[in-house]
Structure 1
Amino acid sequence: MNAMNAPATVRISGPPNSSFLVGYPGISATLPRIVGKVEIRPGAGFSAPVSVSMVRICLQRRETIHPAAENVAKRHLGTPRRETVDLVGKEVLLFRCVSGKEAESVIAMDLPFQIFIPFGRGGEETNRRIPPASLQLPSRIAETYYELVVTVQQGSSMQNRYTFPIPLQRYDTLSTFGMYNRPESKMVTADNVVTLGISLPKWSYGPLDPITVYIKLSPNPDWMNKAKRVTIQKITLSIEEEITFNPEGDEPTKKVNKIAKHTQTVGTKMTEAGYVTNLGLVFPARDLRDPDGIIKRGKPGFPLYEVTSFTTSSTLYKIEFFLSIKAHMTSARDITLRQPIVICPMDQQACKEEMDAIEQAAKDASHIDPNNPNLPERIIVLAHEREAIRHLGLCEVGGVKKMLIE
């Protein structure tokens, strides 16, 4: 293969001492964006120039579901894995050679870029919605994965794509936001004899956050004689994870997992005043450390979460959480109440610590124009330029290329 037509070496790098992701996805005031530069270097040998016609970059989301993956038999006999690929935001053109020329002969290219992540003001267009967080459920029954895709056109007949995983988190479910700290109440009855009422002081929780529920069982004053014959045996509080596969399709399927449970034995008769209690449990967390206390290495495309899953919604699947309170009684029907809650990947303390950083990110973002972002100058070193190979750390001595020592 001609060296000029050999595939280039491509990599991306983020800002110094920082990740690619700037701002907080889900919080529009911070203008969440991916910042970095595409670096293109010779692929064949040390200094053979490469021909480059065009360079583009985009953020791509891959979603897969395979509900049968947990069961070995169903994995092979059930429906196959389903996958969708969507563009997030817009594709950005970083370089195009001058009109009338097939390609530029390039020694080195550094092309800065900014890709703005949508923050939900684009209606129902898929690429304008707030993208869901990166997540991989056990056995890969559902997965959301992001990658930066760099497309390099080399001449008229050669086009190569290079992918780089990018973990993406969402910050709009932090338990410290005021919207989640308003009390929630609900009342249900099964047969009009007894009413079950609950009150939640807040409704967003993270790993190892305590969940406390105020519970009241009240008799129906119009059926007091019947109500007084009722014995409250026990009250059960559990956290349920509900995964809906294909929620926007014709045949959505649901899978419910109980992830924590607490039972309080009561064994008392119903009185006119009713029965009042508080029940609580702690939301379970994953241990990110190995037996030696070292944090395990995560997968490149996925953040290390202390929870197995959290509240999220995407094209192929949706994860919701409910508090399920069940009152077991004699002489009356059992009453079950399901109250939706929000599960955040971070605990209360971590959420508090993020608030100042979010405020600062919003101040920084106020100076940025998303339609005309201020980017560093791009660097393009063409093969015919004098001392072009210095950019590769080489120099020519007596017709021989040697490492440059300055």
Structure 2
Amino acid sequence: MAALVRVSGPPNSSFLVGYPGISATLPRIEGTVEIRPSQGYSAPVPISLVRISLQRRETIHPAAENVAKRHLGTPRRETVDLVGKEMLLFRCTTGREADNVVAMDLPFILYIPFGRGGEEANRRIPPASLSVGSSRMLETYYELVVTVQQGPTNQHKYAFPVPVQRYDTLSTFGMYNRAEYKTAVSDNIVTLGMSLPKWSYGPNDPITVFLKLAPNPDWMSKAKKVTIDKFTVTIEEEITFNPEGDEPTKKVNRLEKRVQPVKAKLAEAGYTTNLSMVFPSRSIRDADGVIRREKPGFPLYEVTSFTTTSTLYKIEFFLCVKAHLSSARDISIRQAIVICPMDHEECKDVLHAIEQAAKDASQVDPTQPPPRPTVVRATDKDALHTLGLCMVGGQKKPLIE
């Protein structure tokens, strides 16, 4: 007799409690595994063992977006990893192959790793759920896997998708609001300096970069001949496939470009300017303004991708500044930036929720076991009452309290 298995989360909330990436919130998945007979409403089901785990599936296919290369390029690669630890929820009575069960509710709490863990993969903070490209060029997907053992040889696995987000790249965190400054020199004649007031951005967030071209006072005669043609600023997405493997490959996409014409000679005092652009976003609404239905296991993001590091791939973003010069070689600076899936206003709102979650988590003891399970065996007194039935004249009838 097969079992009907489902997983339910806490009332009025999702499975995921806390904020992955923020250790103070003790990120965890809470819920209950519910097992009932699948055929014959009251027929008991033999259950030997029940386990639950959180699994991460990752796939990459670098040639997926190119029709010509799809059949010739590297094949799709996939890995499946256990996140945290597997949890034993039920074991049948010692000495028996299985217990005949009428109904079973097994509460569980699976803690998501929140430490970097060095080389220990099972202690690293798991990357966020993400699917890039219509042909699933790269994907990270999480699912709760319930393993039900029925007798010595009969084992079934049931998978339930769980979207996982990361919250350690919020643009409201102070560490991202420190100015970054970089310089580069052309022919020892001109120095380009670039200043970024902050370096974490989300969809539709404005990005402003301050630029200064300064002549070398020791080579002023040559510097005065330099003409500033224009400045260009581009945002690049760099995807590294198989970053920890033997042959990592990179794909660079230009997301946005801004050009500022200058056409002026470089003065002794130098040249100062700033360029602004908006980080591109994609709408989560359709043509009628209705929010799209999200795919199971994947949250709706307003960006096509964001800063993340996984086993099979790594996504990074760079702000590239180039000064186009005459009478001197062009100067380029490439500065890493962090892209968050949420805009600045959303980050502000989430920050308050994170603070509250951290207060709530301070009352949680991770060593405490989950609530006691409810197991109704066929031999228990009034077992049918659990299913809303009772025996009347040797027949099963609906129970009227």
TM range (shorter): over 0.9
Shift of 1:100: 1.0
Q: Show the counterpart of 1:276.
A: 272
Aligned AA for 2:4?
T
* Distance in 1 of aligned mates of 2:198 and 2:116: 27
Q: Show the counterpart of 1:179.
A: 175
Aligned residue pairs: how many?
A: 400
* Distance in 2 of aligned mates of 1:179 and 1:349: 17
Shift of 1:78: 1.2
* Distance in 2 of aligned mates of 1:403 and 1:271: 93
Q: Does 1:151 align with 2:138?
A: no
* Distance in 1 of aligned mates of 2:247 and 2:353: 42
Q: Does 1:391 align with 2:378?
A: no
Match of 2:48 among 48, 53, 63: 53
Bigger mean CA offset, 122-131 vs 205-214: 122-131
Once the two structures are superposed, residues 317-346 of structure 1 have per-residue CA deviations (whole angstroms, 9 ceiling, x without a partner) of 000000010111111111111000000000
Match of 2:348 among 346, 352, 357: 352
Q: Show the counterpart of 2:38.
A: 43
Once the two structures are superposed, residues 38-74 of structure 1 have per-residue CA deviations (whole angstroms, 9 ceiling, x without a partner) of 0000022211111111100000000000000001121
Q: Does 1:361 align with 2:357?
A: yes
3-state DSSP of counterpart to 1:371: coil
* Distance in 1 of aligned mates of 2:112 and 2:284: 29
Q: Does 1:371 align with 2:367?
A: yes
* Distance in 2 of aligned mates of 1:206 and 1:314: 20
What is the TM-score normalised by the length of structure 2?
A: 0.98
Aligned AA for 2:14?
S
Q: Show the counterpart of 2:300.
A: 304
* Distance in 2 of aligned mates of 1:190 and 1:142: 39
Aligned AA for 1:72?
V
Q: Show the counterpart of 1:3.
A: none
* Distance in 2 of aligned mates of 1:108 and 1:127: 34
Change (3 A) 1:93 1:351: same
Q: Does 1:110 align with 2:100?
A: no
Aligned AA for 2:91?
R
Match of 1:313 among 309, 315, 329: 309
Q: Show the counterpart of 1:324.
A: 320
Match of 2:57 among 29, 54, 62: 62
Of all paired residues, the percent bearing the same amino acid is 73
What is the TM-score normalised by the length of structure 1?
A: 0.97
Match of 1:82 among 77, 81, 85: 77
* Distance in 2 of aligned mates of 1:121 and 1:239: 28
* Distance in 2 of aligned mates of 1:402 and 1:220: 95
Shift of 1:190: 3.2
Aligned AA for 1:231?
T
Provide structure 1 residue ranges, at least 5 long, that are not aligned to the other structure.
1-5
Shift of 1:365: 0.8
3-state DSSP of counterpart to 1:354: helix
Once the two structures are superposed, residues 376-402 of structure 1 have per-residue CA deviations (whole angstroms, 9 ceiling, x without a partner) of 221100011222122223333333323
* Distance in 1 of aligned mates of 2:394 and 2:127: 55
Match of 1:92 among 76, 87, 99: 87
Provide structure 2 residue ranges, at least 5 long, that are not aligned to the other structure.
none
Bigger mean CA offset, 98-107 vs 382-391: 382-391
Q: Does 1:192 align with 2:197?
A: no
* Distance in 2 of aligned mates of 1:250 and 1:321: 23
Bigger mean CA offset, 359-368 vs 129-138: 359-368
Match of 1:208 among 204, 210, 216: 204
Q: Show the counterpart of 1:292.
A: 288
* Distance in 1 of aligned mates of 2:368 and 2:82: 21
Runs of 4+ in 1 over 4 A off after TM superposition: none
Aligned AA for 2:230?
K
* Distance in 2 of aligned mates of 1:181 and 1:241: 21
